[in-house]
Amino acid sequence: MQDTEQTPSQQEAAPSPEAPAPAAPAMPKRGGIGLNVAIQIFLALALFAGVNRLNYYHYWRWDMSPSQDYTLSPATLKYLDSLSRDVQIYIVFGRDSKVYGDIQSLLEEYRSHGRQRIKVRSIDPVRDIERAEQLKADTGLSLAQNGVLIRCGVNKRFITEDELVVREKGTSTNKQITEFRGEDAISSALISVVEGRIRRFYYVVGKGSRTGQGQDDAYNASIELGKQQNFEVIQVNLSEVAHIPTDADGLLILGPRYDLSEREISMLNDYWRTKRAGIFIMLDPSGETTRLNGFLTANGVRPRGDRVLCAESTSTGARKEYTVLGEFVKDVPFTRHLTASAITLAGQSESLEIKKDSPELKEQSITPSPLIQASPRFWGERQFLEELPIVDEEDTLPPIYVAASVERGATADETQRANSSRMVVVANATLLDKQTMLSISHDFVAAGVNWLMNREDFIGIPAKARHSYRIQLTDRQHELIFWITSITLPGIVLGLGLMIWASRRAA
């Protein structure tokens, strides 16, 4: 046999016949495997729990609605940030309510921004009978209709569904919802239960009105406004009292037909000179209120007794328009949120002379300011009974003011400003008429009343308009949607599944 020679590298690579074979790696014990798996499962569960806890307390919410329907106003956010007491809110709504979803989403925003001070619970009185009965027993409320219950300690406030929405006008029993006022009503009620007292406005009666219906409308509108803005309205006849009640947060003199007596004017002056007096006045241009007009003139707002109108000659004859289209003056803080909107004053209005630069008023720390200015095509007409009035020397030319505010005792120091007396004067008596009142009129009166109560922080919480969207699809579009959703997309999923199955079979 022929021997073959090996190179030195081959000799080095060849294993030595005496070298022992390498030992096989030892298999881990079954207990060690179990412990390792248990530790992994524990760590996975701990990571899962930690991530979920972080997600529960730290998360972001985005309002994707076109008009930001569920975004809270800066005023509400500021109040929630300073909330110092725990508050419980109960959504007592049937699930079939058209505003249940809006209420639930809105109150979730209150809860998330309430720094764990606000607890929100939902109770369906039809399905959760036991919880509803327990809530009735605890609060003493009947809960006979949908609403939101807010509790803070022993204080409570139940807001009905009708206070949260604005419905279209008309006599139909199935009125559609046009606006959602949830934030406005809930924030006002929240202040009420936390403060522990309800503000009180006295409604002056016994002075007549242009119509009985007009007086009823103004009174009922003020009551509804009080429910939303958290104040109660109590009637008072000044001829039957010795002085304006000391617990009055404000006085409502709405559309008086007859004048106040000398004694009543003296009472009004005494009240006006106190700290934190509030007066809201709606003038009837056709009323005989000489003394009341004198009181206003002494405070920088003089009713001129004319009529704000515009008139023109048309092909069909003379046309005379008393309904005033006005805009809000931009320099006034408590109506700043309304400056982008126009307001309509139905019926008749008179112009107001506002003495903004009177040295005598400045000595008394009285500051009158215009609130609403009529459109430039209107003027103050003295001979308004003529068929076709024209502007002459005795008439008032633009700018024409039909609403004003007066502040007495205001200072530059904001901490002392809350003690000032305040008054709002509107030279129109139809502002709160049921048939002509618009949302902008409601918002203006609400802003004025909140200003009288020194609630500037909560002026300007807007109502959310309800929009209905309808999509019109052609037959071709319906057919296309059917093929995409019923055939194409399921087919793609099925095809991917078959491809994965085939690839695993071939492996």
468: amino acid identity, one letter: S
CATH of the domain at 130: 3.40.30.10
* Residues 346 and 445 occupy one common structural domain: yes
pLDDT of residue 183: 83
pLDDT of residue 269: 94
* Residues 164 and 271 occupy one common structural domain: no
Question: Running DSSP on this structure, what letter comes out for residue 458?
Answer: G
* Residues 444 and 426 occupy one common structural domain: yes
Instruction: Please tell me which of 61-70, 126-135, 366-375, 458-467 the model is most confident about, judged by mean pLDDT.
Output: 366-375
* Residues 193 and 228 occupy one common structural domain: no
* Residues 206 and 191 occupy one common structural domain: no
Q: What is the pLDDT of residues 190-244, one digit of tens each?
A: 887 887 777 899 999 999 887 878 788 889 889 888 877 778 899 999 999 999 9
- Whether residue 26 lies inside any domain: the answer is no
State how far the Cα of 205 lies from the Cα of 254, in Å rounded to an integer: 9
Q: What is the pLDDT of residues 286-310, one digit of tens each?
A: 988 999 999 999 999 999 999 999 9
* Residues 294 and 439 occupy one common structural domain: yes
Compute the average pLDDT of residues 271-284: 92
Domain boundary among 137, 171, 197: 197
Place of tokens 């199955």: 501
Residue 274 pLDDT > 80: yes
| Domain boundaries, position 371 | 199-460
Model's pTM, two decimal places?
0.72
Token digits for 222? 């003020």
CATH of the domain at 376: 3.40.50.880
Contact 85, 114 (CB under 8 A): no
* Residues 352 and 374 occupy one common structural domain: yes
% of the chain beyond a pLDDT of 70: 87
- Whether residue 507 lies inside any domain: the answer is no
pLDDT of residue 172: 64
From the CA atom positions of the chain, what is the Rg in Å?
36
* Residues 409 and 275 occupy one common structural domain: yes
Question: Which residues are CB-neighbours of 358 under 8 A, at least 6 positions away?
Answer: 300
Residue 412 pLDDT > 60: no
| Domain count of the fold of the chain | 2
- Whether residue 27 lies inside any domain: the answer is no
Which has the closest alpha carbon to 135: 112, 158, 113? 158
pLDDT of residue 463: 61
Q: Which helix (H) or strand (E) holds 456?
A: none
- Whether residue 324 lies inside any domain: the answer is yes
Compute the average pLDDT of residues 307-334: 89
pLDDT of residue 35: 85
* Residues 154 and 181 occupy one common structural domain: yes
State how far the Cα of 254 lies from the Cα of 208, in Å rounded to an integer: 10
Contact 148, 71 (CB under 8 A): no
pLDDT of residue 182: 82
Which has the closest alpha carbon to 250: 212, 216, 293, 201? 201
- Whether residue 91 lies inside any domain: the answer is yes
Three-class SS state of 325: strand
* Range scoring the smallest mean pLDDT among 80-89, 160-169, 278-287, 411-420: 411-420
401-408 and 421-426 strand pairing: antiparallel
Domain boundary among 129, 164, 197: 197
* Residues 166 and 204 occupy one common structural domain: no
* Residues 254 and 182 occupy one common structural domain: no
Residue 22 pLDDT > 50: yes
- Whether residue 500 lies inside any domain: the answer is no
Contact 67, 467 (CB under 8 A): yes
- Whether residue 430 lies inside any domain: the answer is yes
- Whether residue 46 lies inside any domain: the answer is no
pLDDT band for position 490 (cuts 50, 70, 90)? very high
* Residues 240 and 325 occupy one common structural domain: yes
Domain boundary among 197, 214, 233: 197
pLDDT band for position 101 (cuts 50, 70, 90)? confident
Whether a cis peptide bond, with omega within 30° of 0, leads into 399 is yes
* Range scoring the smallest mean pLDDT among 133-137, 450-454, 462-466, 488-492: 462-466
